[in-house]
């Protein structure tokens, strides 16, 4: 969608976090990540991670379900409540179906039962990083669209809102008590400021911004 499209490359910047109270597991995963040049950090508890500011890059958290103190599911709930972005992969020594279902419903990317193969974990991590990267691009796009929209004049906002809601130029002119020519000028300027290549793109942007559909436009 014109300049509104986005992409991400997790190979350039990404970060993996391990939360596991088993030192052997932490050391084993640290060795694996070093072997593939992954940036990572390990923690022994949920509380320890919560004191660490998550990096502003695509992030994956490899999280043991059963931790001393707050559980992995508790940590997932806290991160979700705080709106912190990261793809979460749970690991566990137990094949607990209800626990797996709860984790996945809360947004986990995968749930691996120990012992798992190194490549299985790396594949899951890459999927989690791709997902978090896509989420970040989506949020960045949303903020960019909002910034462009807010930078327009009130009249341009009105014309764009009415246009993407389905009103024709003449209907907009009548509603705003301005001329058709003035509507066309504001509409063109709205497209320019929003970086929309076509009116169809402007409509999509309007939907993403949650612009209200004018009353009666559905009948046009």
pLDDT tens digits for 56-97?
888 999 999 888 888 888 899 988 888 777 899 999 887 677
Every domain of the chain with CATH number 1.10.10.10 lies at: 152-219
Among 167, 186, 189, CA closest to 178? 186
The residue with tokens 């502003």 is 56
In CATH, what number does 152-219 get? Answer: 1.10.10.10
The CATH code belonging to domain 2-143 is 3.40.50.2300
Q: Which residue has the higher pLDDT, 51 or 212?
A: 51
What is the rounded distance in angstroms from the CA atom of residue 105 to the CA atom of residue 92?
17
Distance CA(57)–CA(15), nearest Å, equals 7
User: 138-189, pLDDT tens digit by residue?
Assistant: 666 767 888 888 888 999 989 999 998 889 999 999 999 999 999 999 999 9
Q: Structure pTM? A: 0.60
**Residues spanned by CATH 3.40.50.2300 within the chain?**
2-143
Specify the higher pLDDT residue, 42 or 144: 42
- Summary mean pLDDT of the chain: 84
Cα(149)–Cα(209) distance, integer angstroms: 9
Contact present, 78 and 46 (Cβ < 8 Å): yes
Separation of alpha carbons 199 and 184, rounded Å: 12
In angstroms, rounded to a whole number, what is the distance separating the alpha carbons of residues 187 and 157?
A: 9
């Amino acid at each position: 969608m014109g300049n509104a499209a986005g992409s991400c490359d997790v190979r350039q910047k990404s970060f993996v976090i391990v939360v596991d109270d088993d030192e052997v597991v932490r050391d084993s995963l640290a060795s694996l990540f070093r072997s593939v040049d992954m940036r990572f950090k390990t923690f022994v508890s949920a509380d320890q991670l919560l004191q660490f500011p998550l990096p502003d890059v695509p992030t994956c958290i490899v999280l043991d379900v059963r931790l001393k103190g707050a559980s992995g599911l508790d940590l997932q709930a806290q991160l979700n409540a705080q709106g912190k972005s990261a793809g979460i992969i749970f690991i566990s020594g137990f094949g607990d179906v209800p626990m797996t279902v709860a984790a996945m419903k809360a947004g986990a990317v995968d749930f691996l039962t120990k012992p798992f193969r190194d490549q299985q974990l790396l594949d899951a991590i890459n999927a989690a990083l791709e997902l978090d990267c896509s989420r970040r691009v989506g949020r960045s796009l949303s903020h960019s669209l909002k910034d462009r929209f807010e930078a327009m004049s009130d009249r341009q906002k009105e014309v764009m809102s009415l246009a993407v809601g389905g009103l024709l130029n003449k209907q907009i002119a009548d509603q705003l008590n301005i001329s058709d020519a003035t509507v066309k000028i504001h509409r063109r300027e709205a497209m320019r400021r929003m970086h929309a290549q076509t009116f169809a793109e402007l409509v999509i942007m309007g939907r993403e911004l949650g612009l209200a559909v004018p009353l009666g436009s559905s009948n046009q």
